[in-house]
Every structure is written in structure tokens, then in C-alpha cells.
A and B are shown apart, each in its own frame.
Chain A
Amino acid sequence: GAGVSQSPRYKVAKRGQDVALRCDPISGHVSLFWYQQALGQGPEFLTYFQNEAQLDKSGLPSDRFFAERPEGSVSTLKIQRTQQEDSAVYLCASSLGTEQYFGPGTRLTVT
């Protein structure tokens, strides 16, 4: 596609529910990144893939967060047993090696 797409755009989850957030990167982009943006702050790194390999997951805040990119294109960020502090915008970005291009984000609200 022309840009990075993410779905859903908005997600409301009850505390304790599991959620899955999808990212479709720009076609051919090898690198894929997930970031978390809390209200009023800059995005913070969560994890990085090169093709299907997850090379860095140092930013994942807990073992409730899990990301995958099994075929080296679409990626899914899964959050298990959601907590209120997980409420944020989750941004996906893709890159060919230099510039990163961001998707519109998924706004997650945990009630």
C-alpha cells in the first residue's frame, strides 16, 4: 500500500481482556517498529523487527506484551490481561533502513 496502515484505529477493552493490534507496513520495508505514546508525551520504543526476526524487544514493558511478524510483513502486537496503564496510542513504523514512516496509530483505552 501507499503507507503504513494500522487496525483497529480505536479499541476499548475492559481490564483483564486480551487485545491484538495489527500493522501493515509499506510493501518491501524490511524493518518494522512498534512504539507506545502516552498522552502528552513523545512515542517510546517497544520492539523492532528485521524481516521476521525480532531483534530488539527491550522496550516491551512487561511479559504481557508480545509482538510477532511471522512472514516478515504484517505484524501483530498482543497485550494480555490489559491494565489501565496500558491505555495509550500504539504506533507502528516501517523503514527500508533510513527514514521511518509511521502509521496512524491505534488508540487503546482500558476501562
Chain B
Amino acid sequence: GIQVEQSPPDLILQEGANSTLRCNFSDSVNNLQWFHQNPWGQLINLFYIPSGTKQNGRLSATTVATERYSLLYISSSQTTDSGVYFCAVEYYNFNKFYFGSGTKLNVKP
């Protein structure tokens, strides 16, 4: 069946540390997005990245579609990075996102 697996499920960092979040998916994707869900529940778009590498400030993401995984890198973490990070994939011929269960990040000052 269709699966989206994220790891680790929980992550605690000291402010300033770097981290890598992983998303594995089970089939060819038409769309892949990374979101940050803030403590108020808002899903904030980080990257639209069905393949390749993108960078935005301290964040970057890489998707290797042929190997069915995506990575989100957070460098020099800040307390405001805390929250839940979701990977969501849209498979070909399906007009819907399948979400992973998220990585809950807590950045301590």
C-alpha cells in the first residue's frame, strides 16, 4: 500500500545544532512538499521538491526520486524551528497528499 514514513519521530536539539529529517515513500511521486506545523497548527510551506535540491536560508531539502526518499536539513537551529515537520507526497494519478506521521522537533535554548 501507499506509505510515507518519516524519521526520527522525535528530535531534541540544542540551539545552534544541525539536523537531518528523512522521508521515505513507497512509489513514484508527482509532488512532494515539506511543511512546518507551528504550535498554533498552521502548516507552513517549506519546500516544493519532487526532485533535486533546494535551499532557503538555513533550510535545504533534497529529493532522490529514483531511490524514493527526501531529506530536510536544518542548520544552526533556533527555538523558533520547534514544531512538527511533515513530508507530504502526491502520487501519480492521485490528486491528494499522503502525509507522514511527522517529526516533532524541540529546540532548546
Instruction: State the A residues within 8 Å of B (CB).
Output: 31, 33, 35, 41-45, 48, 50, 55-56, 59, 89, 91, 93, 98-102, 104-105, 107
Query: Are A59 and B96 interface neighbours, CB within 8 A?
Result: yes
* A101→B46 CA distance, assembly (Å): 11
Query: Are A41 and B101 interface neighbours, CB within 8 A?
Result: yes
- Given A42-B102, A89-B41, A91-B43, the answer on whether A102 and B35 have CB atoms closer than 8 Å is yes
Query: Are A33 and B42 interface neighbours, CB within 8 A?
Result: no
Query: Are A33 and B97 interface neighbours, CB within 8 A?
Result: yes
Instruction: State the B residues within 8 Å of A (CB).
Output: 4, 31, 33, 35, 40-43, 45, 48, 86, 88, 95-102
What would be 11 A-B contacts, judged by CB atoms less than 8 Å apart?
A33-B96, A33-B97, A35-B97, A41-B101, A43-B97, A43-B99, A45-B97, A48-B96, A56-B96, A98-B31, A104-B41
Closest chain A residue to B98, Cβ basis: A45
Query: Are B101 and A42 interface neighbours, CB within 8 A?
Result: yes
A52 to chain B, nearest CB (A): 15
Query: Are B95 and A100 interface neighbours, CB within 8 A?
Result: no
A98 contacts across to B, CB distance below 8 A: 31, 48
Query: Are B99 and A42 interface neighbours, CB within 8 A?
Result: yes
A97 to chain B, nearest CB (A): 9
- Given A42-B86, A42-B102, the answer on whether A101 and B45 have CB atoms closer than 8 Å is yes
Closest chain A residue to B50, Cβ basis: A98
* A95→B100 CA distance, assembly (Å): 20
B4 contacts across to A, CB distance below 8 A: 42
Query: Are A102 and B42 interface neighbours, CB within 8 A?
Result: yes
* A89→B43 CA distance, assembly (Å): 12
A33 contacts across to B, CB distance below 8 A: 96-97
Give the residue among A41, A43, A48, A99 with the most B Cβ atoms within 10 A: A43
Query: Are B95 and A99 interface neighbours, CB within 8 A?
Result: no
A107 contacts across to B, CB distance below 8 A: 41
* A99→B49 CA distance, assembly (Å): 9
B43 contacts across to A, CB distance below 8 A: 43, 91, 102
A79 to chain B, nearest CB (A): 19
